[in-house]
Structure 1
C-alpha cells in the first residue's frame, strides 16, 4: 500500500525548526529502523502529529530531538498535560527547562512518564511545544498513550544496540506517521497463526455474535454491526474462540503484499478506500482484483471491523457470491482485503445512481450505463436471490442485503458481497439510534430493528428493499421518515410506496416480503419460482 504523506507549510517560527525522533527511539517505540520527523524545515507531518503513539509499560521515558535552523536559538516553552487517568501516573518531568531556547545543534531531551503502579490504566498524555519568533508563535502537540500496570516493575530497556541504518521502505512508512503501528498486535497474532496453519483445521463458530472480536465502539466511529453470522440457538461461544477463528482465517488467506499492485482509487470514504489493482500468483499469472483497505487515521475498531466483516464469507464459493480472495497485513501497514475482480464490475448502488446521472464515493471513469428495463431489473433480482439462497443453504445470514453490498458487471450479472467499509463508503444508509450501533435501519425487518432478531425471513425483507432500490435506481428508502421513527412507522403498517413504472405484479412481491410476521413472508424458493415465471412472461412479451 502506498501512503500519502500530507505536508503543510507552517508559520515562520516553525520554518526554522527540526523536531524528530531518532532511529533508536523509533525502533524502541515502533520497531522501525528510521528517523521520524514531526517538523522538518518548515513542513509538518500531520499524520505523525495526529497519531496517538502507544507507550508500552516497559518504557518510562520519551526522547525527542530538535534543532534550530535559524542561525540562532529559538525561544520555546514546553508543557506536559495528563489528559486521562491521572491517578495512574506521577507528574511527568522534563530533562530540560520548561522554557528556554532551541539550540542550533541537534539536542535530545526527555520526558519522564513514571507510573504510580497502584492503578492499571491507559493514560493519555499531550506534550505541547510552543515556538516563537518575535510576535509569531506556533504550538504543536505530541500525543502519547502510556500503558501503566499495577505492581509491575519496570525492566531496564537497552537501545544502544538498535539498528540505525534505515531502509527506504522503513523511512517511507515511518514518514507516513507510523499509522501501521496500530496493526502491530494483529500482525504478531497473524504470524503465530500462520505457523500453526498446517496443524489446525478451520472451524467456524456456531454463532457469530454482533460484537465478536471487537472492542466497544460509539456511533461517531465505526459501529460493531456484524453482517454475517450463523442462524442457530446454540449459546454464544467464547470471545477468544471467535477471535481464534478469525485469526485462523486470516492465516489461511494471507498473501504477500509485494504481489499486489494498486492502480487507481475506485471509492473513498472518511477512513476507507477501495482500489483497483492486480495480484500476481506464485506462477506469475496476474488477475484483476479489488482491494479494500483503510486510511492512515483509521482506528483499531475500524481495522478490526474491516478484517472481521471481510473474512466472514471465507470458504463460500458460488457464482453469485463475491468472496474474499486474500488478506495481507504485512509491514505493519493497514490490512488489504483482495477480491477477484474485473474491469467491467461496478458497485451496484453506484451503477444504479449512474443510471440517473449521480456519482458518489469518489467513483470516476465509468460511462453512464444504458437504461434499465423491467426485464433487466427482474433478472438482476434473480441473481441476488440465487446468491442469498446459497448463503442460507450454508447456514449463513447476510443481515445487510442491499444494492451497496452487491456488484454488477456490464452484462448486468449481480453478485452479493460482504459489507466491509459499507458504513464508511455509504454513511447515509446507516444510522445510530443511541444503542452504539450504526445499522442499516431502513433495510431492516421490524423484528430485527426492534428486537435484533435475525432469520432467513429478515433477509427476505431486506431483499424486498433491494428490489425496490433496483426499480427506483437506488433512491433512498423512507427518505421522508426520521430513522428514530422507522420502527413505529412500520409497526403502524406503513411501507414503501410503489415506484413509478413498476408493474403491480413486481410490487406485490415486494409487499409480500414486508409482511409484519416473519412466518407470512415468502421463502426464497417461492420467490425464485415467481420471479422466474414473471421474467419468462416479460421475455415472451418483448
Structure 2
C-alpha cells in the first residue's frame, strides 16, 4: 500500500509541477517530449503520462527527477513530436557512469536526425553486464535546434538510475513493444518511512514553487513578460565543485570562498598612461606589416615583424578614426603593461610617431590567431577534445592568478580577448579594439557605453562594479564558449532583460558533451554573490586536478 501511495504521489507531483510551470513560465520549445502511459506503467507501475515538454513548455521539475529503472527492464522509451510545422534537427547522447556494469547504451534511432511532425516513440537499451550488482546513473542529453539562423537551441537532460543485478534477469523487452506489467518487490517498513519523508519534502517543494510563481507574476507587472527558453537553466551556483556526483577531485580543492570582497582596480591616470607609453616607445620604421588578420570599422590587426627578426601582432586604427578611438586603443592596450607570464600576451612596444594612427605591438609567433575566430572556424575547432578544453582553461586560469596577484582586474575576459597558436597554447590579451572587431558581443543599455553585457556579473551589470569576482564570472562564460565553439551566450535574451534573468537565477545551460565536472566549475563561477565565487587560485587547482585525472586514461 505504501509503495502504491509513493508511486501515485510521484506521478501527481510530476504533473502538478508541470502545471505550475505552465502557469508561470512561457518557454517556447515548439515540441512535445513525454513518457507514454505504457512506459510509466513499466517504470512506476501506474497508468499515466509524464510530460517533460508539453506544447513548448518545459517541465523542469520532471527533468530534475531521477527515474529508477527496475532490474527486469532492459530498455527505456521516450515519445516526442515536432510542433513547429516541420521536422526539428536533433542530436542525442547517452552516457552511463559505469561502463563495466552498464556498457554503452544502444539507441534505436540515429544519434543525429530530425524529430518528426507525427508522434514517434524511440527506445534506449540499458542491458547490464551482470558481473556484479550495482546502481548505475544514466544521463540522456538531447539538443534540439529550433532556429539555426538565430542559434536557438533547446537542451534537455534526462537522468535514470539503472538497477543492475549480479545475474541479469530474463528480458522484459528489448527495444520492442512495451509490456504493461513489471514485477514489483513488496514494500518494507523502511520503504514506508522513505515514502513519508519524500511526500513531506515534496510538499515543501510545491509550496516553494507556488511562492516563486507568485513572485514571478508580481515582477511581470513591473517588467512585462520575460522571454524564457530551455537554452538556460536555473542553477544552484553557490556549491563547491565536488557536489557533482561524478566529481573526482579532492573535497578541499574549491570549497573555500572569499573571506571578503575582492579588490577593485580603477582606471589608469593620464600621467601613468604617458609613463607607460614612453617606456615602450619603439621606432615605427622597425615595424613591418605582412598581412591583415582582422578589420573593423576603424580597427585593424596585422601580422608583422619587429627588427626583421621578431614575429609580432600589430593593433592600429584607420586614418578616419576619432581621437576617442585612438585614446581607447592606447589606454586599453596598456592595461596589461608589465605583465610577465607565459599565459599573457604582453605589450612589446608602442609607436605614436603618427598620433592619428598609433601602433601597439605584441610579441607572438607567426601562427598566432584570435581564439574566438579559431573556434568559429569548423576546420580548426571541431577536432578539439575535452582534455584540450580543460588544458586551455587551465592556462588562462594561471594567467589570471598572476594578474590578480598584482592587483590587476581584467574586466573583459572572453575568447575574443585571447589568442591561440598552432600548439593550442592560449594567452590572455587586453580588450583594445574588441568593441570594433566584435560589435555583436557588446551592447549599449542607454548609457552611451558599449559593454559585454552577456559576460558581465550582476554587480558589474547593475553598478559597474568590477573586481576579481566579476572576472571569475566572465571566466565561467569563457569556458562555456570553449565548449560550444564560441556560440553567443544568452543569444535569445534581449540585453535589457539580462539583469532580470540573472536575478531570477537563470544561467547558461550545460553544453552538449560537456562533462558534469567541467560544467560544475562553470556554474560555481556564476554564484550571485561575489563572495561566493571562487578565486582563480581555486579554479586553477580544480582544473589542474580534473586535467590530471582525465589524462590518466587518454
Q: TM-score, normalised by structure 1?
A: 0.53
CA distance in 2, matches of 1:395, 1:449: 21
C-alpha RMSD over aligned residues: 1.8
The one of 412, 419, 442 aligned to 2:424? 412
- 1:423 paired with 2:444, answer no
State how 1:307-346 maps to structure 2 within 5 Å: 307-346=330-369
CA distance in 1, matches of 2:478, 2:517: 16
CA distance in 2, matches of 1:276, 1:529: 35
- Other-structure match for 1:495: 507
The one of 306, 317, 320 aligned to 1:297? 320
The one of 426, 434, 437 aligned to 2:449? 437
Q: Figure out how many residues of one structure are paired with residues of the other and give that number.
A: 294
- 1:270 paired with 2:282, answer no
Q: CA deviation at 1:432?
A: 0.4
State how 1:108-187 maps to structure 2 within 5 Å: none
Matched-pair contact (CA < 8 Å) for 2:323–2:356 = no
CA offsets 1:327-361 (integer angstroms, 9 cap, x no match): 1011444000000011121111011111x35xxxx
CA offsets 1:254-304 (integer angstroms, 9 cap, x no match): 111110111110100011000111110xxxx62011110001111111000
Matched-pair contact (CA < 8 Å) for 2:381–2:485 = no
Cα gap change, 1:258/1:310 in structure 2, threshold over 3 Å: closer, same or farther? same
- Other-structure match for 2:486: 474
- 1:256 paired with 2:304, answer no
Cα gap change, 1:482/1:316 in structure 2, threshold over 3 Å: closer, same or farther? same
- 1:455 paired with 2:467, answer yes
- Other-structure match for 2:540: 528
CA distance in 1, matches of 2:461, 2:355: 38
Aligned to 1:495, the other structure's residue is in SS state: strand
- Other-structure match for 1:50: none
CA offsets 1:384-416 (integer angstroms, 9 cap, x no match): 100111000010000101000011111111111
Q: CA deviation at 1:369?
A: 5.0
CA distance in 2, matches of 1:530, 1:332: 46
State how 1:273-284 maps to structure 2 within 5 Å: 273-280=300-307
Cα gap change, 1:494/1:327 in structure 2, threshold over 3 Å: closer, same or farther? same
Q: CA deviation at 1:505?
A: 1.0
Aligned to 1:278, the other structure's residue is in SS state: strand
CA offsets 1:127-184 (integer angstroms, 9 cap, x no match): xxxxxxxxxxxxxxxxxxxxxxxxxxxxxxxxxxxxxxxxxxxxxxxxxxxxxxxxxx
CA distance in 1, matches of 2:530, 2:391: 25
CA distance in 2, matches of 1:397, 1:327: 22
CA distance in 2, matches of 1:535, 1:458: 24
Q: CA deviation at 1:541?
A: 2.0
The one of 392, 395, 399 aligned to 1:387? 399
List structure 1 runs of 4+ shifted beyond 4 angstroms. 231-234
CA distance in 1, matches of 2:332, 2:511: 32
Cα gap change, 1:525/1:331 in structure 2, threshold over 3 Å: closer, same or farther? closer
The one of 270, 273, 283 aligned to 1:243? 270
Cα gap change, 1:233/1:472 in structure 2, threshold over 3 Å: closer, same or farther? closer
Unpaired segments ≥5 residues, structure 2: 1-261
Q: Which has the higher contact order (CA 8 A, sep 6+)?
A: 2
Aligned to 1:265, the other structure's residue is in SS state: strand
Q: CA deviation at 1:484?
A: 0.5
Cα gap change, 1:332/1:435 in structure 2, threshold over 3 Å: closer, same or farther? closer
Matched-pair contact (CA < 8 Å) for 2:483–2:514 = yes
Cα gap change, 1:370/1:475 in structure 2, threshold over 3 Å: closer, same or farther? closer
Matched-pair contact (CA < 8 Å) for 2:326–2:357 = yes
CA distance in 2, matches of 1:428, 1:483: 11
